[in-house]
Structure 1
Amino acid sequence: MKDQSCVKILTEWDIVAARQLGRNVAKELGFGTVDQARITTAISELARNIYLYAGKGQICIEEVEERGKKGVKIIAEDEGPGIADIRKVMEDGFSTSGGLGAGLPGVKRLMDQFELNSDAEKGTEIKAVKWLR
């Protein structure tokens, strides 16, 4: 595991800070502008979910390397109420906040790997990876 940088998500401004961090890491790794946009959109979505549903948490961004490939991993963690029905939140168009419902299915589409773990007592952890092409 390489360097990991985290942004605590407590206010809407922290969402902006997390996006900026993600864009900077992606740029340093050599991602093109389209993939940088995908990564920052995914971060924005994950950070907004923490802010709206958990109240607090963090977004961590780290460089990853696997079988000679480089990438960026986003880890979104919170200690919120957890996700009661993971299948439901992974359906396109599902929204509890009145948003577009691009949410987690959108993050999954934007990234190359996506893993979601949620527990009513411990909160939610989402890991998403984008590989450099």
Structure 2
Amino acid sequence: MKRLRALPGTLFERHEITAEPDVFRARQAVGRAMDALGAKVIRKTRLVTAVSEIFRNALIYGGSAVVRIYCDAEDRMVWVDCSDNGPGIADMTLAMSDGYTSGRGLGRGLGGAKRLADEFEIVSEPGVGTQVRLAGRA
């Protein structure tokens, strides 16, 4: 699978998501990273909401994930990279469309996360996994 370029800034925290409590801890870490850059509450809320969906999807559909959070103080951005080794996404266009769900959700996950983030990238390969990268400006 093609991997996304290296992230700017410095590593803030790394988390493994293997169970629901890990989603909560990783989400909190993103909030702390936004706080470290002095983010406004609305900016922090948008990014934390976006990553919550991505982390939960990685757990449900990917089985587990590794999350890396970077702070780029120069650009005042928090970057989040979430990678799993799950089944991947066969039809990215369909997966990104509102209303589509492969489970029992509302079908707003990936598209909603993309709209909430300032930057959003995704690569996936069936049988290999998915990598989602998003960022929020403080």
CA contact (8 A) 1:54 1:80 kept: yes
SS in 1 for 2:51: helix
Match of 1:17 in 2: 25
**TM-score normalised per structure 1:** 0.91
% identity of equivalent residues: 34
- Of 101, 105, 121, the residue aligned with 2:107 is 101
- Of 114, 133, 138, the residue aligned with 1:127 is 133
Match of 1:73 in 2: 79
Which 4+ runs in 1 deviate beyond 6 A?
none
SS in 2 for 1:36: helix
| Offset of residue 96 of structure 1 | 1.5
Q: Distance in 1 between matches of 2:12 and 2:28?
A: 15
Q: Distance in 1 between matches of 2:107 and 2:117?
A: 17
Matches within 5 A, 1:50-89: 50-64=58-72, 68-89=74-95
Q: Where does the alignment leave 5 or more consecutive residues of structure 1 unmatched?
A: none
What RMSD in Å do the two structures reach over aligned CA positions?
1.3
Q: Where does the alignment leave 5 or more consecutive residues of structure 2 unmatched?
A: 1-8
Match of 2:49 in 1: 41
Give the length in aligned residue pairs: 130
My pick for the range that moved more, 92-101 or 75-84, is 92-101
**TM-score normalised per structure 2:** 0.88
Match of 2:98 in 1: 92
Q: Distance in 1 between matches of 2:43 and 2:118?
A: 11
